[in-house]
Structure 1
Amino acid sequence: MINKHIIYIGILMGIQLYAQEKVQAPLTLEYCIEMALDNNLDLKKSTLSKDASQVNFNQSKAALLPTLNANYNLGVSNGRSIDPYTNDYVDQKLTFSNAGLNLNFTVFNGFRLLNSIRQRRYSLNAAAMEVAEQRQNLILEVTLTYLQILNNRDLLTLAKSRLETTRNQLKRLESLYEEEFGNPADYTDMQGQLALDMTSVINARNSLKEAKLNLFQLLNTAMDTDVDFVSIPVTDIIKEYPYTADEVFSDALANMATFKAKQFRLDAAESGIKAARSGYIPKISLFGQLNTNYSSAAQFFTETGTSIAETGGFVTVNGTDYPVLTNETIFFGEDIRYMDQIKNNVYTSFGVAVTIPLLNGFQSKNNVALEKIKLEAAKIDLQSTTLQFKNAIEQAYIKMESALERYHIYKKQSEAFDESFRINEIRFNNGVSNIVAYLTSKNNMDNAMINLSNAKYEYLLRVRVLEYYRGV
């Protein structure tokens, strides 16, 4: 029973979590932008790249600090080797150990470290600007996709309205057709128009689903086909754009994160050249060492007395050989303890080291050449980006002006065709006009409304793109 309760609780928790992950409707543009900034994977990858640049920058600053390293080893040696305690050759099994501290501090190296810090700082700033650029691009993509959804939703509404109008006419003609009154071709033509309008609804619905799918991919969340979106009062904000193309481009150069990132990359390349040139300059550093060692062969000897021993030589007296004796001191050997040796064998050294580069396989020369190539590449990248943005701004501006002109034209056309359809519908219902004039008028009105909706949202899209270029 307890296990069943646990299972039920788990199921309820899973349902609750799913409900929390499910997108709440209706969605606003601001909510979609916020969700995209939180969930988008490309933006997260760009943020991680900036974090890596931060670590590299911190490491370049830490390189100014002295290096202090400790070492320790313990081993066994067999055969002929050098006793680290006496520096004599021994031929025995030997246990040895060494320990030490090494300190190194760079005093001067041609300002390589300082230039490297500047280079990493510029790279960090560039990475931060690239994250901002990614955010701006994502906001623009979400906004454009959101507007595309609203456009497709309006087109779907228009398609459904056209379909409903055709169905009502078909019902009226069906009764006349059954009563064998009027032209039978009117009924069949209206059936064909109904099929055409049904196809338009299907196409509009699919376009809306595709736009929703594109948006949810940017949001990095599961798609909900039933979710609705809050409308934007687009008609109220359709007015002449207050900036020229040159003004937009000037604002882009001053405000866009893209150009700031390219400039930082250029500054980083210049610092890289200065850092590479330090390879031609001598390096001055301070060093210090503290070391000690241990040997299992090391012993401490204590005198315990003397003894008479033969030397191996002989003295002949009257034909008789007498051995030569000597008085030898007797010592007692005692192993020196590990810690005693570690304390007693300590030795230190310190000084100044100067490294003068004479010949290193042209490594410094080639490093400078590579950094110069990177600098030229950064300059070309900045110039290319500037040219691309200038062309893109001019194209977007031309399309924006064209969309605004077409909007005003389609608005007048829609009003005219709407009135024409109203008149032709009355005439057709009263039998004064034929089906051809009715369908022609209806299709003209429908196409005008579609063109008006497309021009309206295209203008808003172009304005949003230009505002993006301005850094707004």
Structure 2
Amino acid sequence: MTFKLSMALYFIATLVLFGQTEQRIAMTLEECISLAIENNLDLKSTKLTKETWDVNFNQNKNALLPRVNGSYNLGIANGRSIDPFTNGIVNQELTFSNAALGLDFVAFNGFRLINRWKQAKLNLRSAEMEVEAAKQSVILNVTLTYLQVLNAQDLVKLAESRLTTTQGQLDRLRSLYEEETGNPAEYHDLQGQLALDASNSVERKNNLEIELINLNTLTNTETSITAVPLNTELEFEVYDYTAQEIYEQALQVFPTIKARDLSLEAAEKAIAVARSQYVPEISLFANLNTNYSSAAKLFNETGTGIAETGDFVTINNQDYSVFAQETNFTSENIPYRDQFDNNLNSSIGVSVSVPIFNGFRAKNNVALEKIKKEEAQTALAQIKLDLKQSIKRSYSAMATAFERYKLLQDQVDAYKESFRINEIRFNNGVSNSVDYIISKNNFDNAQTNLANVKYEYALRVKILEYYRGNI
């Protein structure tokens, strides 16, 4: 009953796993890498950061150019106000307008703008290196996951082959059992072994499904994909480089190291920017202004006339009014354009701003930037240390996997021959099921270990090549 239940669960689990994977599209490693580079969210985020630094760089570069600003306004004033044309007090509705154009250019400020531009350029190059590092990291992760999928596929094949072999033996013993000529204990031993092999097969298929999910996560595509099985065996050769040689090459080509080097240079430029606050700032300026007022009038002479002055003279006790000749005028509005032309005025000059005391702001800013530089130096040293340790660990694991592969090859050959002999003996009734099962499990486990160490070696070599910049 237990055997039947185990086999039923195996077939149900197999159907479920098959249903999850039957729609997957087989893709090569190169196709998976292309998808990941296009869709990976971490890489997209890094690219957006780089675009931010690109805008920041352009902003600091454009800050070196002169600043030209224009202004224009038009309005209506009611009541008592100042006539912008005459500067006199008027009490009427007044339409006014003015326009201005100004130019401002920083001639010298302790190279602050230039150093900011250089700092932004270094930060941009650092961001570009971060993008390259993220890209290489995606390629590495896809490659490693792809190899893990291939490893899981091989293990599934081994498990299915193992299950098929056990099933064949069980079918042979079932005939003997039903004819009551075989050993019932051996028949039941093989039933138990078949259930164990079925359980291992389900576990292997589940592990494969997990690795496929990881691969799909990295590629970030709605299409379910799987890896194309290798047509050739993985190559096993003695690795040509030592851990120290790999580390020295990594210092020259590893994008993360380059990014931190550039960040350190940018921190040095930030100190120069902060120190420029000690230096006077010299600027050149030029301005052009004009205005308009509806109160401005043009008076035209229309002739002369006699008008009473309000004074008088007394002759013989008789008062006589005093009249005077005066010129008569008529007023007319001055056109908008004429006022703008007539009221033009300009100015040009030099402005000097001398820092005398600003609450030690400059001193504190310099101190803060020096701390940031030390932080950048510490971050660079830490990354180099982590890199060196990672290379050592990967190199040690690679060398161990290489040695284990050679030893496990011998073990597989030995257990293969042992299983062949025990299978013949078991089929001929010379040995018992216990010896057969032990020999079979030894051979199967040796094949599994060989498959694992084969891909372990390939993974470690890929990681070391990644550090060398050959991913």
TM-score by length of 2: 0.91
Which of 242, 245, 263 pairs up with 1:244?
242
Q: Kindly tell me: are residues 191 and 30 of structure 1, through their superposed partners in 2, closer, same or farther at Cα, counting changes over 3 Å?
A: same
Partners of 1:155 and 1:400 in 2: how far apart? 21
- How do residues 261-410 of structure 1 correspond to structure 2 at under 5 angstroms? 261-313=259-311, 322-410=320-408
What 5-or-longer segments of structure 1 have no aligned partner? 1-22
Partners of 1:232 and 1:58 in 2: how far apart? 51
Partners of 1:394 and 1:410 in 2: how far apart? 24
Offset at residue 307 of structure 1 (A) = 4.2
- 1:27–1:230 Cα contact (<8 Å) kept: no
1:445 aligns to what SS in structure 2? helix
AA matched with 1:52: T
Superposed CA deviations along residues 49-71 of structure 1, whole A, max 9, x for unmatched, are 22222222222222222111111
Q: Which residue of 1 aligns with 2:139?
A: 139
Partners of 1:371 and 1:61 in 2: how far apart? 21
Offset at residue 232 of structure 1 (A) = 6.0
Partners of 2:377 and 2:80 in 1: how far apart? 64
- 1:81–1:91 Cα contact (<8 Å) kept: yes
Partners of 2:112 and 2:467 in 1: how far apart? 38
AA matched with 2:265: D
Partners of 1:405 and 1:111 in 2: how far apart? 60
Q: Which residue of 1 aligns with 2:230?
A: 231
Q: Which residue of 2 aligns with 1:115?
A: 115
Identity %: 55
Offset at residue 319 of structure 1 (A) = 5.8
Q: Which residue of 2 aligns with 1:459?
A: 457
- 2:104–2:285 Cα contact (<8 Å) kept: yes
- 2:280–2:352 Cα contact (<8 Å) kept: yes
Partners of 1:421 and 1:356 in 2: how far apart? 93
- 1:29–1:230 Cα contact (<8 Å) kept: no
Q: Which moved more, 1:251-260 or 1:311-320?
A: 311-320
Offset at residue 129 of structure 1 (A) = 0.9
Q: Aligned-pair RMSD on alpha carbons? A: 1.9
- 2:98–2:292 Cα contact (<8 Å) kept: yes
Q: Which residue of 2 aligns with 1:9?
A: none
AA matched with 1:415: D
- 1:25–1:229 Cα contact (<8 Å) kept: no
TM-score by length of 1: 0.90
Does residue 1:418 correspond to 2:387, yes or no? Answer: no
Offset at residue 182 of structure 1 (A) = 2.2
Q: Kindly tell me: are residues 185 and 396 of structure 1, through their superposed partners in 2, closer, same or farther at Cα, counting changes over 3 Å?
A: same
Does residue 1:207 correspond to 2:193, yes or no? Answer: no
Q: Which residue of 1 aligns with 2:186?
A: 186
- 2:24–2:224 Cα contact (<8 Å) kept: no
Q: Which residue of 1 aligns with 2:19?
A: none
AA matched with 1:229: V
Q: Which residue of 2 aligns with 1:435?
A: 433
Superposed CA deviations along residues 267-303 of structure 1, whole A, max 9, x for unmatched, are 0010111111111111111111111100011110112
Offset at residue 120 of structure 1 (A) = 1.2
**Count of residues in correspondence between the two structures:** 448
Q: Which residue of 2 aligns with 1:18?
A: none
Partners of 1:429 and 1:358 in 2: how far apart? 102
AA matched with 2:336: Y
Partners of 1:318 and 1:343 in 2: how far apart? 59
Partners of 1:230 and 1:164 in 2: how far apart? 21
- 2:105–2:284 Cα contact (<8 Å) kept: yes
2:301 aligns to what SS in structure 1? strand
- 2:149–2:227 Cα contact (<8 Å) kept: no
2:455 aligns to what SS in structure 1? helix
Partners of 1:228 and 1:62 in 2: how far apart? 50
- 2:84–2:292 Cα contact (<8 Å) kept: yes
2:27 aligns to what SS in structure 1? coil
- 1:282–1:357 Cα contact (<8 Å) kept: yes
Partners of 1:321 and 1:174 in 2: how far apart? 159
Q: Which residue of 1 aligns with 2:39?
A: 39
AA matched with 2:469: G
Q: Which residue of 1 aligns with 2:85?
A: 85
- 1:291–1:347 Cα contact (<8 Å) kept: yes
Partners of 2:70 and 2:267 in 1: how far apart? 36
Partners of 1:191 and 1:466 in 2: how far apart? 46
Q: Which moved more, 1:181-190 or 1:322-331?
A: 322-331
